[in-house]
Structure 1
Amino acid sequence: MNINSIKIATVTAGYVAGVWVLCSIAVVIAPDTLRYISGAMMHLDLSQWDWEMGMDTFVVGLLAWSFFSWVTVWCIVTLYQYSLRSFS
């Protein structure tokens, strides 16, 4: 079975971009709640931290998360395809 690594990576990057947009909206709407949840997820006290949700940080985060998720998934699928050919 041949998996198209570019298509899978592109779909993943699109999904991650959508999650980033929803998360950014949630931070704007309920910053204290999201700060508490984020701190709990990392076992940190973030109550003294401030969110920086400007257009510049939104765009940079969107591009960075999308790009790195694309590259990561492409590498995983490509290595998986290679391993199938090598061990068959």
Structure 2
Amino acid sequence: MKLNANKFGIASAISFGVLWLICSVLVWLQPSMMMNMTGHMLHGDWSQMGWHLSSTGVFLGLIGWSAFAGLCGWLLANVYNRINRQP
């Protein structure tokens, strides 16, 4: 089975974009809970840090991380296709 690398990359970008927006909304609604969760995920004490959430930051993060996820998805599909070649 061959993956379409472009479609897989776009699907990765869209999926990550949706997750980014969900995470941003959760930070906006429950900042202390999300800060605590971040500390657990990164194995550190983030209680002294604070969120600086702005609409510009959310938008730039959405674009940047979605593009990065799209490139990673495209690369993953290409590597998979090369490994899965029929002899």
Task: Please classify the TM superposition score into its range, dividing by the shorter chain length.
Answer: over 0.9
| Letter of the structure 2 residue corresponding to residue 14 of structure 1 | I
In the TM superposition, what is the alpha-carbon distance from 1:2 to its structure 2 partner? 2.1
> What corresponds to 2:62 in structure 1?
62
Aligned residues: 87
Structure 1 moving runs of 4+ over 4 Å: none
Q: Which has the higher contact order (CA 8 A, sep 6+)?
A: 2
Taking only the aligned residue pairs, the percentage that are identical comes to 28
Say if 2:7 is the partner of 1:2.
no
In the TM superposition, what is the alpha-carbon distance from 1:60 to its structure 2 partner? 1.2
Q: Structure 2: where are the runs of 5+ without partners?
A: none
How does 1:8-47 map onto structure 2 within 5 Å?
8-47=8-47
| Letter of the structure 2 residue corresponding to residue 24 of structure 1 | S
Q: CA deviation digits over 1:13-67, x for unaligned, max 9?
A: 1110000001000000000000001001111111111111101110111011101
Q: Structure 1: where are the runs of 5+ without partners?
A: none
